Amino acid sequence: MEYLLSEKEYYELTTAPKAVAAAYEKIVNELCTIVADSMPLPDNWINSDLEEGEAPAPWNCVHSMQQEWYCDDCPVQEHCTQSKHWSK
């Protein structure tokens, strides 16, 4: 049995998933920014000169900072779909 879709039905079937995917992508990018802004730097980074009891600095996402920074070692670089800033 075959069913022919109306133009409206076809449009709903092809457009709705794209809108849902775009909404999820936005949520994922917001979560990636939150993780990058709150996750502490690894020990092999700038934290080597921390005094005892001092909290390590957060990573900080390049998309939430005003200064130039890079995504090279970002903990969420595989999940983030925003444009990347790589060092040369």
Q: Is 26 exposed, middle or buried (0-12, 13-18, 19+ CB in 10 A)?
A: exposed
**pLDDT tens digit sequence for 7-42:** 998 888 888 888 888 899 999 999 998 988 888 776
| pLDDT one-digit tens code per residue, 37-62 | 888 776 666 555 666 666 666 778 88
Name which of 13, 21, 19, 28 is nearest 81 in CA terms.
28
Domain ranges of the chain: 8-42+57-88
